[in-house]
C-alpha cells in the first residue's frame, strides 16, 4: 500500500467517525426501480436533498410514464422542476439525452437489462449513456444494482478536499475511486448516505474557499460520440 493510500484511508476513516453521530442515515430507502433511481439521482446531482425530493415528485406527477418524460422538451422539464433549480437547463438536457439513448438501445425506456449484466458491465452501460454524470451512474449501481460505488459530486468533493481526504486537484471520478478502495462493499450504502447528508448541510461548506465546479465526464464515453464543451461543463444536444 502506498503512502498516499495510507493517508487517504486515515483521513477518510477519521472523517467517517466524526460524521457518524450527526449524519448517519435514518429510516429505509424509498423503493424505486433502477430507472426511477436514475431520474431521482439526476435531480440530486449538484442539488440539495429537499429540492431533489420536491422536484422528483413534481416531475413524476407531470408525466404519465417515463416514456412521456423521454419525449418532453427540456423547457418542459425545467418548468416542472423549477427555473431556479440548480443547473436546470444542463440537468434537463442531460436527463433527456440519457433517457433517449436508453430507448435507442433497448426500444423501451427501461434499465431492466442492467440487472442481468455483471456489475462492471452494468456500470459501463450507465457511464456510456449520453450526458451521464458519474454521480448518477454510481448511485444507480450502488442502490439498485448491488454494485460497489460511492457517488461523488462537487458538493461532496469540495468537502473531501477541505478535510484532506483527497488532493485539491482531484475531480469527482478520481475521488470516487479513492472512496471505493477504502470503503468495504457492505458499508457502501451507509457511507454514501452519511456523506450525502454531510454534504447537504450548508454549515459544512468550506469557508473562504473559491468553489470551482470540476468538469463531469462519463467514465468511458464511446469514441463515436462527439463531445461538445461549453465552459467547464459537458453539454449534450437535446433531442426532439
135-181 tens-digit pLDDT: 999 999 999 999 999 999 999 999 999 999 999 999 999 999 999 99
pLDDT at 110: 95
Q: Does the pLDDT at position 80 exceed 70? A: yes
When pLDDT is cut at 50, 70 and 90, the band that residue 226 belongs to is very low
More confident residue, 121 or 232: 121
Q: Is the predicted pLDDT of residue 74 greater than 50, yes or no?
A: yes
Q: Tell which wins on pLDDT, 105 or 217.
A: 105
Interval 84-136: pLDDT, tens: 999 999 999 999 999 999 999 999 999 999 999 999 999 999 999 999 999 99
Percent of the chain residues past pLDDT 90, beyond the cut: 82
Q: What is the pLDDT of residue 214?
A: 60
Instruction: Determine the average pLDDT of the residues in 24-32.
Output: 92
The angle at the Cα of 98, spanning 148 to 58, to the nearest 5 degrees, equals 95
Q: Taking Cα atoms as reference points, which of 133, 131, 136 lies closest to residue 228?
A: 131
Average pLDDT over every residue of 35-57:
97
Determine the Cα–Cα distance for residues 40 and 14; give it in Å rounded to an integer: 30
What is residue 224's predicted lDDT score, i.e. its pLDDT?
A: 43
Spell out the domain ranges in the chain. 31-240
- Under CATH, which architecture does the 31-240 domain have? Orthogonal Bundle (1.10)
Amino acid at each position: 500500500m502506498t503512502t498516499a493510500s495510507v493517508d487517504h484511508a486515515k483521513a477518510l476513516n477519521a472523517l467517517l467517525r466524526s460524521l457518524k453521530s450527526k449524519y448517519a442515515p435514518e429510516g429505509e430507502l424509498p423503493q424505486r426501480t433502477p430507472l426511477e433511481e436514475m431520474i431521482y439521482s439526476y435531480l440530486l446531482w449538484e442539488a440539495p436533498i429537499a429540492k431533489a425530493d420536491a422536484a422528483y415528485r413534481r416531475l413524476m406527477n407531470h408525466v404519465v410514464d417515463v416514456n412521456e418524460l423521454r419525449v418532453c422538451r427540456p423547457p418542459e422539464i425545467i418548468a416542472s422542476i423549477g427555473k431556479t433549480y440548480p443547473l436546470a437547463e444542463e440537468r434537463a438536457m442531460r436527463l433527456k439525452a440519457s433517457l433517449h439513448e436508453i430507448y435507442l438501445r433497448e426500444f423501451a425506456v427501461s434499465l431492466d437489462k442492467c440487472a442481468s449484466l455483471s456489475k462492471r458491465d452494468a456500470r459501463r452501460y450507465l457511464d456510456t449513456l449520453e450526458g451521464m454524470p458519474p454521480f448518477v451512474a454510481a448511485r444507480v449501481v450502488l442502490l439498485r444494482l448491488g454494485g460497489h460505488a460511492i457517488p461523488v459530486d462537487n458538493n461532496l468533493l469540495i468537502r473531501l478536499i477541505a478535510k484532506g481526504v483527497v488532493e485539491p486537484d482531484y475531480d469527482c471520478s478520481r475521488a470516487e475511486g479513492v472512496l471505493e478502495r477504502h470503503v468495504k462493499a457492505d458499508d457502501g450504502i451507509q457511507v454514501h448516505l452519511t456523506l450525502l447528508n454531510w454534504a447537504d448541510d450548508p454549515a459544512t461548506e468550506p469557508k473562504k474557499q473559491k468553489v470551482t465546479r470540476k468538469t463531469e465526464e462519463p467514465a468511458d464515453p464511446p469514441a463515436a460520440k462527439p463531445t461538445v464543451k461549453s465552459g467547464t461543463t459537458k453539454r449534450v444536444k437535446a433531442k426532439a
